[in-house]
Amino acid sequence: MQLGYYQRKTAKKCCYCERPFTREIIASIDHFIPRSKGGEDCLENIVISCKDCNHWKADLMPNDFKNVVDNYLQKNKTISFKTYNRIDLQNIVKNL
């Protein structure tokens, strides 16, 4: 998908956590509505996320992923969604 390549090259931050892309925080293509939940493989359903969010969102619906993250952050007020790291995200998803 050529537009996906273009979006990965021009996107500046993850659509979920809003962390800016760096060498450590790598951009990837994600289906906003997972294909396993009826999401289409079309440009309107493609977003650019960091690989961590994409991996841990897995086949969750966007609102479910956001709710899981929000609930975790409520309990762990020492981090914010924009500053969490891979370990935080693993803990968030383990609590599903």
Token duo for residue 93: 């998803």
Residue position matching structure tokens 């952050």:
73
Q: What pLDDT digit, counting tens, does each position of 46-87 carry?
A: 888 888 889 889 999 999 988 887 777 777 665 565 555 555
pLDDT of residue 13 exceeding 80: yes
Cα–Cα dist 26/51, whole Å: 6
Cα–Cα dist 25/35, whole Å: 24
Rg for the chain (alpha carbons), in Å? 13
For the chain, domains (ranges, CATH) are 2-94 (1.10.30)
Q: Give me the chain's average pLDDT, please.
A: 78
CB 92 within 8 A of CB 72: yes
- What pTM was estimated for this model as a whole? 0.71
**Residues 6+ positions from 77 with CB-CB distance below 8 Å:** none
19 — pLDDT class (breaks 50, 70, 90): confident
CB 41 within 8 A of CB 31: yes
